[in-house]
Structure 1
Amino acid sequence: MSDEDLYVDHDDAQWAFGTGFTDPLHGIDQRVPDGVDAGDLAACCLALGDDALVSAQRLAEWCTRAPELEEELALANIGLDLLGQARLLYARTGRADGTGRGEDAYAYFRDPDDFRNLRLAELPGGDFAFTITRLLVLSAWRLAVFEELTGAPDPVLAAIAAKSVKELSYHCHYAAVWTVRFGDGTHESRNRLRTALLDIAPWLAEPLTDRTAAGLGAESAVVADRTLRRLADVLVRAGFDPSEVLPLSASAPAIPGSGRDGDRTEHLAPLLTELQSIARAHPQAQW
């Protein structure tokens, strides 16, 4: 790679590896429609964008580590889908909150306490069974949210949701296939799946009770019911009694706090340090 590849402007010497992207919402009418609360819209887009960004970073950790090359590529592509969703949602956030900030400002230049992602997304990757189980849970929940948001009163968010539903349907299907494979496999694979389900269960109430998108058409009760139905169907096909491994109501015992309120685990800061290090080392770069 030559200097000509690294610098777009030799007078300013800005490191430009990765540049060339336009605003993902370029050319779209981004005015907040009458009757839509701009604060609610910004909060919703920011939270869902944070979920996607943090989840994508966790999936990226499987590069070179997945059990097979095919699965490594699948997880990487799912992560790229989520990054694309984060880009769109962050761009919408910057218009809705009135700051005009771009996607990089939200992804690279906020501290852990400023993030509003679900805490389940930031937990360490664990083994492959944990990663697949978390992907199943978050994809089933996120799919339910975006299905409802396709009717959002903000047409930009509705369009983002419609695009995302297609991607999330695949994510959910991919994770479901692996879940059934674990459950119908060896004694070891079944035990690993059971352990992953029990580890994730206390974190499930957080998405199931989340009301971030309620004002835009995604009522938490509807989302929770649809999520649990999807999860129960997969677990039955995997040979499990859902009531033994996952809470079947949003009122089940849960770990206190909420990522939506800024509560964080100890695991987000190291993840963001790795994610943000290059951008913060070159804050004037164009990404």
Structure 2
Amino acid sequence: MSDDHAYPALAEGHEDDARWAYGTGFEDPLHGVDSALSDGVDAGELAADCVALADDALVLAQRLAEWTTRAPELEEEVALANIGLDLLGQARLLYSRAGQADGTGRDEDAYAYFRDADDFRNVRLAELPGGDFAFSVARLLVLSAWRLAHFERLTASGDPVLAAIAAKGVKELTYHRQYAAEWVVRLGDGTAESRRRMRDAWEQVAPYVDELFTVYDVRDAVGGVLRQVTEAAGIPLPVCRPLPGTGRDGEHTKHLAPLLTELQSVARAHPEAAW
């Protein structure tokens, strides 16, 4: 399969639906996609990058799911759930590609449900508790802008499958970033209470932002977006001392293990079950 055909194979039957959570409905999310590694692609590096990107998506999706029945309005509950489903779709494909690349043949469930917190490689901002709505949209803005900038680069990946996953993800992440940006502006430029909460949210997010750029150097692209949005919101970006360590090195907050316990409880209680 050539680079030109990897994406159509992923999107076959759903070409007109930009919001389709692709990969669903198959026992293998990469069903029909040529999994052969291209010359010059390091299998170990590819697998590690796919796992890390999938961990980011899975953990953030779990945090977004916590807004179900708790969002300020039904419309926002649906929007956050759909964003979480987009991220789960990305995680499925990335985990599956990792299992192909590293030669283990592990499926998505093995990566998502049967690894402990120390084995996860997500950035720490994704795992922080949801807090209030202002914090959740501030975090979503930062992570979606960061992930989008990296996925745009990955569309030129030497691995055609990863490039195809990134191409689909760019469309989804563009919406995620726009959704979060609109809410940051609305809250920052709203009432005195909403402005206070938005300021507090940025103070909570700020210490974890620098970690993102030690992982992928897209500071200029992300910084431009954040400055544009916060200026429109009338909220100054705080200057905070970055925290040491990174989630990519397995250094996590105390919040990840309880999140995974909840996420993995059913699968671990019934490890041989078929869903």
Q: What TM-score results when the alignment is normalised by the length of structure 2?
A: 0.89
Q: Does 1:269 align with 2:274?
A: no
**Residue among 231, 234, 251 paired with 2:229:** 234
What is the CA distance between 1:231 and its match in structure 2? 0.9
> Which whole-Å CA distance do the structure 2 matches of 1:224 and 1:101 have between them?
33
Residue matched to 2:214: 209
Q: Which amino acid aligns with 1:153?
A: G
Verify the 8 A CA contact 1:140 1:230 in the aligned structure 2: yes
Give the unaligned 5+ runs of structure 1.
1-18, 212-219
**Residues 72-83 of structure 1 correspond to what in structure 2 (within 5 A)?**
72-83=77-88
Give the unaligned 5+ runs of structure 2.
1-23
> Percent of aligned pairs with the same residue?
69
Please provide the CA RMSD for this pair.
Answer: 1.2
What is the CA distance between 1:20 and its match in structure 2? 6.0
Residue matched to 2:272: 284
Residue matched to 2:178: 173
**Residue among 70, 92, 104 paired with 1:99:** 104
What per-residue deviation string (whole Å, max 9, x for no partner) do you get for residues 221-265 of structure 1?
Answer: xx11101111111111111333xx2x5xxxx73111110000011
> Which whole-Å CA distance do the structure 2 matches of 1:224 and 1:47 have between them?
19
Residue matched to 2:159: 154
Verify the 8 A CA contact 1:149 1:157 in the aligned structure 2: yes
Q: Which amino acid aligns with 1:229?
A: G
Verify the 8 A CA contact 1:24 1:88 in the aligned structure 2: yes
> Which whole-Å CA distance do the structure 1 matches of 2:242 and 2:189 have between them?
29
3-state SS of 1:232 partner:
helix
Residue matched to 1:217: none
Verify the 8 A CA contact 1:78 1:171 in the aligned structure 2: yes
Residue matched to 1:3: none
> Which whole-Å CA distance do the structure 1 matches of 2:146 and 2:93 have between them?
19
Q: Which amino acid aligns with 1:65?
A: R
Verify the 8 A CA contact 1:182 1:189 in the aligned structure 2: yes
> Which whole-Å CA distance do the structure 2 matches of 1:108 and 1:44 have between them?
19
**Residue among 67, 86, 92 paired with 1:62:** 67
What per-residue deviation string (whole Å, max 9, x for no partner) do you get for residues 189-216 of structure 1?
Answer: 00100111011111001111214xxxxx
> Which whole-Å CA distance do the structure 1 matches of 2:249 and 2:235 have between them?
34
Residue matched to 1:8: none
Residue matched to 2:5: none
What is the CA distance between 1:27 and its match in structure 2? 1.2
Q: Does 1:46 align with 2:48?
A: no
Q: Which amino acid aligns with 2:220?
A: D
Q: Which amino acid aligns with 1:268?
A: L
Q: Does 1:71 align with 2:76?
A: yes
> Which whole-Å CA distance do the structure 2 matches of 1:36 and 1:254 have between them?
33
> Which whole-Å CA distance do the structure 2 matches of 1:102 and 1:136 have between them?
30
Give aligned pairs, total.
Answer: 252
What is the CA distance between 1:32 and its match in structure 2? 1.4
> Which whole-Å CA distance do the structure 2 matches of 1:234 and 1:31 have between them?
42
Verify the 8 A CA contact 1:209 1:224 in the aligned structure 2: no
> Which whole-Å CA distance do the structure 1 matches of 2:236 and 2:106 have between them?
47
What is the CA distance between 1:100 and its match in structure 2? 0.5
Residue matched to 1:12: none
**Cα–Cα, structure 1 residues 20 and 161, in superposed 2: closer, same or farther, change >3 Å?**
closer
> Which whole-Å CA distance do the structure 2 matches of 1:241 and 1:187 have between them?
15
Q: Which amino acid aligns with 1:258?
A: T
What per-residue deviation string (whole Å, max 9, x for no partner) do you get for residues 111-141 of structure 1?
Answer: 0000000011000000110001000000000
